[in-house]
Structure 1
Amino acid sequence: MKLPVFCPSCEQPLKVSQLKCGNCPTEVNGDYELPLYLNLSREEQDFIMAFFLASGSIKEMARQANTSYPTMRNRMDDMIEKIKKMQP
């Protein structure tokens, strides 16, 4: 199950407010931003993982997805632009 990152009521980004240790009763409370990676869709996260597992080779990713290099490159460029817009 994927961690929810958007409010089911108003669709605004959620923030982390509490973390608990699974080994002891320690709890950490605050108002923390989620890492950028978690704000991406499952498909985008899978794309990044595939890129990593392909040793950063777009050519290899295209081969595995049975698509052309330019198609995969365009997808990569679109994701780069999206991530740039998400950064502060």
Structure 2
Amino acid sequence: MSNSDFFKKFQTMAEDVQKKVSDAVAQSPAKDIEKNVKGLMQQGFQKMDLITREEFEIQVQVLAKTRTKLEELEEKVAALEAKLLTNS
């Protein structure tokens, strides 16, 4: 194979690769960019000790249950205190 044939073949292969890369980028750059940006943001949020919306919602539910339980216990304590005062 001569140098001329080699360079022609190399040029053809390089053009094919360039076309395939261009086609791939043209078909889905937005999705790839979105995925990469989301990944970077998640990494940044993790470093900042932020929580996800799901984790936040779970904590809201836990807090609501805890508040309800606290109110029930406060009522029981008040009832017991009232009972002690009437027995004294």
Q: Shorter-chain TM-score: which interval? A: under 0.3
- Higher helix proportion, which one? 2
- Higher strand proportion, which one? 1
Normalization by structure 2: what TM-score?
0.23
Higher relative contact order (CA 8 A, sep 6+): 1
Rg larger in structure: 2
